[in-house]
Structure 1
Amino acid sequence: MQPMQQHPSRSALAEHRWPVVIALLAALALYALLPNEIIGPQRFVVVSVGLALLVPLVIANPHRLTRQAPWTRAVSVGFALLLVLTNQVTLVRLILELVGGGHDAPGLLLAALQVWTVNVIGFTVLFWELDRGGPVLRTMVARSELPPADLRFPQDEDDDAVAEVAARSSAVRDWTPRFVDYFYSTLANSMAFSATDAMPLSPRFKLLMSLQAFGGFLILALVIARSVNILA
């Protein structure tokens, strides 16, 4: 599989592979360390499948993301969906344990932090994979050929600001969102329970961001309630 040729109108550098690999490995590690009350041996199935999907993606793009084929696109999006969906199931199990008054209260509170963190990582990767056709297309093809954006970042509309702000805009610098931009936006959504940095434009992203914020709200509300119960 040969690298794609970047369109002459584009100057954005292709993204590095390693930030997302580190994030995914961290998510799988947190998932594997969840207590048995939340998830049993099936966690190792999820971790094994995740690692099996990650290996060919790293081989296809070991350094910068310049290669894309239908199978790599399917595997990368499938991996993100696997992480998000399995964590939603785990979230339900966690809620049942917190509401039911599980005996290992400190362990449940730690598990809540793990599930919340995996939720942030999972949705970050999913948004990063879906928005504007994914990380490869975002930097390699002409902007006129990109799929419609799912998220609007501040840099997408700052070209008419003062010079030092406009210098980082999409129109002036050929800026394109990177993994860290999606991570910050997802983290802010998980803590504020609403979009604060990037605004969702498509119905699918509005629903996904709502699901993510609602999950974060439930975890926070139940953890606070359980903590008060422990301290009372």
Structure 2
Amino acid sequence: MNTPDDRRDHPPTARPGLDEELAHLGRAEHIPAWLRPTGPENRLPVAAAILVAVALQLTLPDKYGLHPRWLMPGLELVLLVVLTAINPIRLTRTTKVGRYASLTLVAAITVDNSCSAGFLNYDILTAKASGDALGLMASGAAIYFTNIIAFGIWYWEYDRGGPFIRAAGTVPHPDFLFPQMATAHVAPPDWEPRFLDYLYVSFTNVMAFSPTDTMPLSRWAKTLMAFQSAIALSTVALVIARAVNVLK
């Protein structure tokens, strides 16, 4: 391909409009991937995270879960099967059924885990919790990591309208400002946020109880991050305090 200097020295003889087309392509190459249409995202990392969350829910004692105990994990698995049937590997088909199923699934995980955290905290505050320090720590850890997964999916589902709209590149205003967006030269030109990026945001939020390298911009993002931190902080503080008391 000729360089701009070559084109000045040798005027084009090709079809009319070639200069305008080349100029447009040149501008497109400088648009970050997260601002332009890109390929569909892989479903497998999200599906794997959901399966881990279901497994963690099932490890909790029955008294810390909604009843019947199989209902919420069973619903989550059914919804995961529906979503996998619609988009087995790549998120190529957007449907209302798929959208509602995705939101219902993450809502089910969040409600079940939040109730588990509430039941555990209540038992600790009312001195009804088990004297088994290891069991308490295991229950707290299961709730803690399920919390990370659930809110990681929320962030992934809602940032700039969700994975399908992000891939279409139609919404320029992000709900989360990743470092690669603010400083483009630190990332390859084809970088765009994927599920693992949102899972990392969720992980650092419950570890630091505040944003770290990625800033929430919209009100809903700030609200979700605050709610997630409140669940994590209350559970961790009470479980650790009770476990330490048992071990004395």
User: Which TM bucket (shorter chain)?
Assistant: 0.7 to 0.9
Quote the Cα distance in structure 2 between the aligned partners of 1:52 and 1:147. Answer: 34
Query: Is the 8 Å Cα contact of residues 91 and 215 (structure 1) preserved in structure 2?
Result: yes
Residue number in structure 2 paired with 1:146: 171
1:70 aligns to what? 96
In 1, distance between residues paired with 2:156 and 2:92?
Answer: 15
* Counterpart position of 1:176: 192
Q: Kindly indicate whether the alpha-carbon contact (under 8 Å) linking 1:31 and 1:43 is maintained by their aligned counterparts in 2.
A: no
Post-superposition shift, 1:147?
6.6
1:212 matched to which residue of 2? 228
- Report the equivalent of 1:103: 130
Give the Cα–Cα distance (whole angstroms) in 2 for the partners of residues 62 and 28 of structure 1.
19
Cα gap change, 1:91 to 1:80, in 2 (>3 Å): same
Match for 1:92 among 113, 118, 124?
118
SS where residue 146 of structure 2 aligns? helix
TM-superposed CA distance for 1:209, in Å, is 0.2
Q: 1:216 & 1:147 partners in 2: Cα distance? A: 32
Aligned identity (percent) is 38
Matched, 1:125 2:125: no
Aligned-partner residue type, residue 154 of structure 1: P
Structure 1's unaligned 5+ residue stretches are: 1-7
Give me the whole-angstrom Cα distance separating, in 2, the residues matched to 1:13 and 1:33.
37
Matched residue, 2:144: 116
Contact 2:136 2:243 in 1 (8 A): no
- Conserved? CA contact 1:20–1:125, under 8 Å: yes
Task: Report what 1:203 is aligned to.
Answer: 219
Normalised by the length of structure 2, the TM-score is: 0.80
List gaps (5 residues or longer) in structure 2.
1-24, 29-35
Deviation at 1:11, TM superposition (A): 6.1
Compute the displacement of 1:58 (Å).
0.4
CA distance in 2, matches of 1:86, 1:41: 10
TM (normalized to structure 1)?
A: 0.86
Query: Paired residues, what number?
Result: 213
Structural RMSD (CA): 1.8
